[in-house]
Amino acid sequence: MKRIFISVIFLIILILSTSCAPSSAEAAPEPSATYIENKGSDTIVNLALAWAEKYQSEHQDIRISVTGGGSGTGIASLINGTVDIANASRKIKQEEIDEAKSNGIDPVEHIIARDAIAVIVHPDNPVDQLTLQQISDIYSGKITNWMDVGGEDRPIVKLSRETNSGTHVYFLETVLRLGNSDDETLFSMDTLLLPSSEGIIVEVRQNPNAIGYDGLGYVPDDLKTIAIAKEAGSSYVLPSIATVNDKSYAIARDLYMYTNGEPIGIIKDYLDWILAPEAQDIVAELGFVPAINPGASP
């Protein structure tokens, strides 16, 4: 019995060691390639990957490694000096800047794209415009019937992304709490939390009671997008590339990349390429809004 046990252990060790050996050999850096480490927001990760793929196919000597993990993780890595570029779907916080400065890092901000969130309803729903306050009241459970916002006598079914989605957090802060950081408003308990954008779209498509939100690029044409007013008196605006860029649409945010100091060398080349038309076309393809002004804006 004991002998068998020992031989089994030996076998396992043998298998592990043989399977490890070639992979560690592969991981050894090719001497000719230059590396760019890029880490951060999960919202941006697909976009960053698409850029990196395109850029690497054009520049064989450059390797870009893109990982997600969240805006906070990316910025923390930049402060620790382990990445060259940090992706963030929010602005860097003052305490992060202070921490970076004390570490000898000078974070420089680059707006690389914009992201608008569309509020969607069933095409048969007569409601086609809402104020931010009304949307906040709907999602926090103060308004529960479409009649109260000028619609039919139907219950409102609220759809949201799961709590781990950056879009969920952004929607909570910008819409439910109207950008007020002291506000403790939460999503009403009966808000349906769907695991994917697709789940929200399927439900809104077939359910006239439903209201949902999603990134502008993910919304198909057969759903109705709500026009939104920032305040009761102001005009109602539909989300589009133009209204996002002139800041008249309320639920839109900038997406950032942060570098240590003004970028130089290959990192500068890469960031310049990202803000050029070719890379900004990919932005539109993936459903984000292209950044209109190229160059860094600290």
Partner 1 sequence: MEKSLNWYEFIITRLIKASGYSAILFVALIFFFLVREGIPTFSEVESTSLLNIRWYPIEDRFGILPLITGSIIVTLGATLVAVPFGIGTAIFISEIAPRWVREILKPLVELLGGLPSVVLGFLGILVLSPFLRVFLDLPTGLTAFTGSLLLGGIAVPTVVSVAEDALDAVPRAYREGAWALGATRWQTIWRVTLPAARSGVLTAIMLGIGRAIGETMAVMMVTGNAPVLATRLGSLFSPVRTMTATIAAEMGEVASGSTHYHVLFFIGMVLFLISLGVNIAASSVVFRAKKRAERILS
What would the x/- binding string for partner 1 be over residues 233 to 252, using CB under 8 A?
--------------------
Q: Which is nearer to partner 1, 103 or 164 (CB)?
A: 164
What would the x/- binding string for partner 1 be over residues 16 to 55, using CB under 8 A?
--------------------------x-------------
Q: Which is nearer to partner 1, 129 or 191 (CB)?
A: 191
210-215/107-121 β-pairing: antiparallel
From 123, 150, 179, 195, residue interacting with partner 1 (rule: CB under 8 A): 195
Q: Least distance in Å: CB of 158 to partner 1?
A: 9
Residues in the interface with partner 1 (CB under 8 A) total: 27
Q: Least distance in Å: CB of 194 to partner 1?
A: 7
Of 21-29, 114-122, 200-208, 274-282: span binding partner 1 (CB under 8 A)? 200-208
62-67/107-121 β-pairing: unpaired
From 199, 217, 287, 294, residue interacting with partner 1 (rule: CB under 8 A): 199
The reply to whether 279 sits near partner 1 by the rule CB under 8 A is no
The reply to whether 193 sits near partner 1 by the rule CB under 8 A is yes
From 4, 25, 27, 28, residue interacting with partner 1 (rule: CB under 8 A): 4
What would the x/- binding string for partner 1 be over residues 152 to 191, using CB under 8 A?
--xx-x----xxx---xx----------------xx-xxx
Task: Please enumerate in sequence order all residues whose Cβ is within 8 A of that of 58, keeping only pairs 6 or more positions apart, or say none.
Answer: none
Sole residue written with tokens 């009304």: 134
Of 75-83, 194-202, 214-222, 227-235: span binding partner 1 (CB under 8 A)? 194-202
From 210, 251, 275, 283, residue interacting with partner 1 (rule: CB under 8 A): 210
Q: Which is nearer to partner 1, 34 or 207 (CB)?
A: 207
SS (H, E, C) the chain: CHHHHHHHHHHHHHHHHHHHHHHHHHHCCCCCCEEEEEEECHHHHHHHHHHHHHHHHHCCCEEEEEECCCHHHHHHHHHHCCCCEEEECCCCCHHHHHHHHHCCCCEEEEEEEEEEEEEEECCCCCCCEEEHHHHHHHHHCCCCEHHHHCCCCCECEEEEECCCCHHHHHHHHHHHCCCCCCCCCCCCCCCEEECCHHHHHHHHHHCCCEEEEEEHHHCCCCCEECEEECCCCCCCECCCHHHHHCCCCCCEEEEEEEEECCCCHHHHHHHHHHCCHHHHHHHHHCCCEECCCCCCCC
The β-bridge partners of 63 are 35
Of 29-37, 96-104, 150-158, 236-244: span binding partner 1 (CB under 8 A)? 150-158
The reply to whether 285 sits near partner 1 by the rule CB under 8 A is no
Q: Which is nearer to partner 1, 71 or 260 (CB)?
A: 71
CA distances to 17, 104, 118, 169, 291 from 281, rounded to whole Å, are 46, 35, 20, 27, 10
Site residues (CB under 8 A) for partner 1? 1, 4, 42, 154-155, 157, 162-164, 168-169, 186-187, 189-195, 199, 202-203, 206-207, 209-210
